[in-house]
Amino acid sequence: MRADAEQNRERILEVARAALKASSAASLQSIAKAAGVGQGTLYRHFPSREALLIAVYRHDLDELIDAVPVLLGEHAPEEALRRWFERLAAYGRIKHGVAQAVEAATRADLSGEYYEPVVKAITLLLDAGKAAGTLRADVDAEDVLQLVGFLWRTDFGADREARTRHLLSVVLDGLKA
């Protein structure tokens, strides 16, 4: 990659990180402007809003994925899944951008580089539970992603946290063998 392109990419990422921190709905237009590049340049580096989101929250995504083996080492599969869900929910609560990034990584980005890792992470959890006989055998990672889709929803009422926790428990119940 050309040196100037690399610089632009970094600058856009930096600006985007700040802008998305301020408001997770920041427009790409405004980010391009703030970074001092044209829209074309922004889109050249990040072909869609989702690609930018994923790039910005790459670190957080990695953290989520890396947490899985650790959790499985410390807890029974079902409990590990429960805790991983909780962590997902926590991200959504604190920085909504990460939740959007996970959704982006797993929804539109089917061909992208992050779909695989996320699915693999969830599959790891599911397989452990299936082996232990505590989770349904007929559920795959794709299913789980659909079931927890409510996590990416922006709305919810005031008691977002309690409601989220509650819904996750229902989903977990549904996933039990």
Binding site for DNA (CB under 7 A): 1-5, 7-8, 27-30, 36-41, 43-45, 47-50
Q: 21 or 120: whose CB is closer to its own copies? A: 120
Q: 4 or 155: whose CB is closer to its own copies? A: 155
Residue 153, contacted partner among its own copies, DNA, none, CB below 5-8 A by kind: its own copies
CB of 60 to its own copies, least distance (A): 23
CB of 63 to its own copies, least distance (A): 26
Residue 171, contacted partner among its own copies, DNA, none, CB below 5-8 A by kind: its own copies
Choices 1-9, 34-42, 112-120, 168-176 (CB under 8 A): range interacting with its own copies: 168-176
Number of residues counted as binding its own copies (CB under 8 A): 23
- Would you state the structure tokens that stand for residue 123, as one six-digit string? 């599959």
Binding track over 80-119 against its own copies, x by CB under 8 A: ---------------------------xx-----------
The answer to whether the beta carbons of residues 119 and 106 sit under 8 Å apart is yes
CA 111 to mean position of chain CA atoms: 16
Annotate the chain with DSSP letters as a single string: --HHHHHHHHHHHHHHHHHHHH-TT--HHHHHHHHT--HHHHHHHSSSHHHHHHHHTHHHHHHHHHHHHHHHHHS-HHHHHHHHHHHHHHHHHH-HHHHHHHHHHHHT-TTSTTHHHHHHHHHHHHHHHHHHT-B-TT--HHHHHHHTGGGG-S---S-HHHHHHHHHHHHHHHHB-
Q: 2 or 59: whose CB is closer to DNA? A: 2
Q: How far apart are CA 56 and CA 156, in angstroms?
A: 25
Based on the shown chain and the rule CB under 8 A, indicate whether residue 39 belongs to the binding site for its own copies. Answer: no
Contacts with its own copies by CB under 8 A lie at 107-108, 136, 138-139, 142-143, 146-147, 149-150, 153, 155, 163, 166-167, 170-176
